Structure 1
Amino acid sequence: MSDIEIVRVGPEAAAAVLRVVHEAFAARPPLDPPAAALTETVESMAERLRPHGGLLACLDGEPVGTLVLDPVGNTMYLRRFGVVPAAQGHGIAGRLIDAVVDHAEGYEDLTVVAREELPATIRFWDRQGFREINRRSPLVEMRRPLRTAVFHVHTADAMHVLGASLAKQLRPGDLVVLSGELGAGKTTFTQGIGVGLGVRGQVTSPTFVIARVHPSLVDGPDLVHVDAYRLGTMAELDDLDLDADLDHAVTVVEWGEGLAEGLTDSRLEVRIVRSQADEADPDAELDPRRVEITPVGPRWHALSFRGLG
């Protein structure tokens, strides 16, 4: 098994960082104008690294991936992000992003700038939970809340397991706001939460009853399962009189984005997105999902995503 090590580096590692950047960017399709990264020198890279440093990923001791940290206001920009072609497929890019989270405490989000001529690169950042916030051709700026955790789920059973494992960290009063297209897996995820909480009754889509309460069988919180698909305003959600249950139950609101946030000052926002299994094979049967979990508010300051799924 290959050994991957990611370390924080400064200007003393400029030569190693530069080698990775040049090799990674040179392997990309030609761009007009060319990528500015290809004009970097050891001296200019040292100046980039001097203020806040960067990360260097080594595979079996050989530098193969890197990025430069560039905080601007409350966001941490990731500059000169690259993995050499020979080391791709080892999960190094994802490991680098995970490592940034450990080195960006105090910042609200992560931001990258990609080239619109490189759709595969944009898809990579999208799969990592980044969303386009600005486009000035040929540059696309993408941002991800710092504490968003991204899980790649390939089966309904795995979605169920992810919900059940999340339930172990839920307590009375918690609110989970679920979003995603029809058939994305929101109800399957909620079924997993119900199993993890140990509640009574089969959790099904509450489309026709809007809200359903599943009492606990294990002296824990009840599960209140709400479908807000046919609710148009916060006032209509208030009319369900959920407040009486919120303090003593875990409340899961499907289609709740833009409606349920006012129920409490803390919540988990869970977004489920379909992703193509294999873009080279449109007939592939695998239909994976990307599950993005973002904690909002003081309740979740101590949330650990380790071990979920």
Structure 2
Amino acid sequence: MSPDVRRVGPDAAEAVHAVVHAAFAGRPVLDPPADALAEEPATLAAALAPARGLLAEIDGRPVGAALLDPVGPTLYLRRVGVHPDAQDHGVAHALVAAAHEAGAGFTELAVLAREELPATIGFWESLGFRTCSRATPYVELRRPLPTAYDVPDADAMRGLGERLGALLVPGDLVVLSGELGAGKTTFTQGLGAGLGVRGQVTSPTFVIARVHPSLVGGAGLVHVDAYRIGGLEELDDLDLDTSLDGAVTVVEWGTGLAEGLAEHRLEVEISRSVGAETSRDGLDPRVVRLHRR
């Protein structure tokens, strides 16, 4: 059976610890020992907040894990481990595929491997990672991530938003930009579907902000239209800070205004394909660019 990989937070610290400890204890003895062997559930819980972990399961049994550690535009994979009993079941490949999805908006994935483990380095190289630096006893490997997506129609726009929404966590800030009719609200509809929120997501132009509570016990959606907001002071008057920690906040027309709402943000720029006009089949393609700041 193929492994099922999901995003997890601090509540999964015990399961992640069991997998990581078993995986690293089953490797050759290293000098100095692998840092992962010193991990405890409490330290992993801190690293997993708010939802910076991947847990792979087969038939409900945890068999693989990894931590997601964002550093600027780079998403590091740490403590990547597969339980010895689950080797050769595609678990590691499934974890990397999930990390690739979780890396939307980052420019690259990175991982550290030990020099003494050439087979491990070879595994990462087989997945497109390339050595970028060495600092004994570690080799750092990186793999570029796409930051631009071709979107042929509205359904594809919603689909991209839905895939991204499933990866967002409470406290995330998304700033949307693009001309009138570019598809910002369509993209946000997909985000709402991915988050599993209540209510139909429509343009909030006439109310400036709408709140969509979660139907699945996760992050709600705060949808803001800053088109008619004159400055940061007016945006502050919406008192959005009270909602940020427990929700995903999406601000249309927020460039130059919303950056102060959170320390980090995901910028989504939607534009028509270069030279593209509505084609004979009625499609009006877009390019969506994602950038983590």
**TM-score normalized by the length of structure 1:** 0.47
